Structure 1
């Protein structure tokens, strides 16, 4: 797949209905279970079901522990979910901005799931460093889709 310079996308057909996958994606308490990078630790604060405008926090670890705050910026029930991540508090004005997007399309045999890592709106301060993580992002997102597949298969 030939992605634009500030996005990376992976996709996989998962043998499950979009509703099952969407239910998993909209439960921030399950993000640790689906995370293919191993950096997500736990939801911070409210773990209510995600919807447009919902703000949720995550405890993370990549060498050192840190936190991120995300806002759901795109939402279409059982079809589309995207959130934008930033650092907490005033740090968020300088750190973050990437968008994680999931598009679900019903297909024969299940659902085509497309995950996109979009750093178009990443902070100018962090964007050059984050951009170097494209290959890791692709590998980790493919692992995320495999984990989603395993979870929904086990629960059906």
Structure 2
């Protein structure tokens, strides 16, 4: 299921895995390049925490037209239900985990409602591009969960 507004994109998928296990994957920055469906997350930068927590900062090597580094701060953390981090630009990448029959409903959100230059993000078509990457990310997360068996 995918929903979006001008500054918020949300993609939900049922994944046949325990929500704590799924939360643990997202709380480990080293796992982010493995599950990233956008192709932009390349590697975790040294010096950050092995496990994320509220207020933790971590940096990633990225590529989007050019190589760059980005620093993130965890601004939402309610284990095992919610984790979200904010970039320098003010938008938040958020994951929600809800136990349901058959596994866990995982919702990934790109939330630019608080970003000061959110209109520029829309004009550059980030909501549409991010939606495609988010669908692929949740597919990869499901594949990773399935490969544990």
TM bin, normalised by shorter chain, reads over 0.9
Match of 1:26 in 2: 27
- Give CA deviations for 1:67-97 in whole Å, capped at 9, x if unaligned: 11100000111110000012xxxxxxxxx11
Residue 4 of structure 1: how far off its partner (Å): 2.7
Unaligned runs of 5+ in 2: none
Match of 1:56 in 2: 58
**Matched residue SS, 1:103:** strand
Q: Partners in 1 of 2:39 and 2:120 — Cα distance?
A: 19
Q: Partners in 2 of 1:23 and 1:146 — Cα distance?
A: 17
Runs of 4 or more consecutive aligned structure 1 residues displaced over 2 Å after TM superposition: 1-4
Q: Partners in 2 of 1:4 and 1:62 — Cα distance?
A: 23
Contact 1:29 1:47 in 2 (8 A): no
Residue number among 97, 104, 108 corresponding to 1:104 in the alignment: 97
Normalised by the size of structure 1, how large is the TM-score?
Answer: 0.88
Normalised by the size of structure 2, how large is the TM-score?
Answer: 0.92
Match of 1:121 in 2: 114
Unaligned runs of 5+ in 1: 87-95
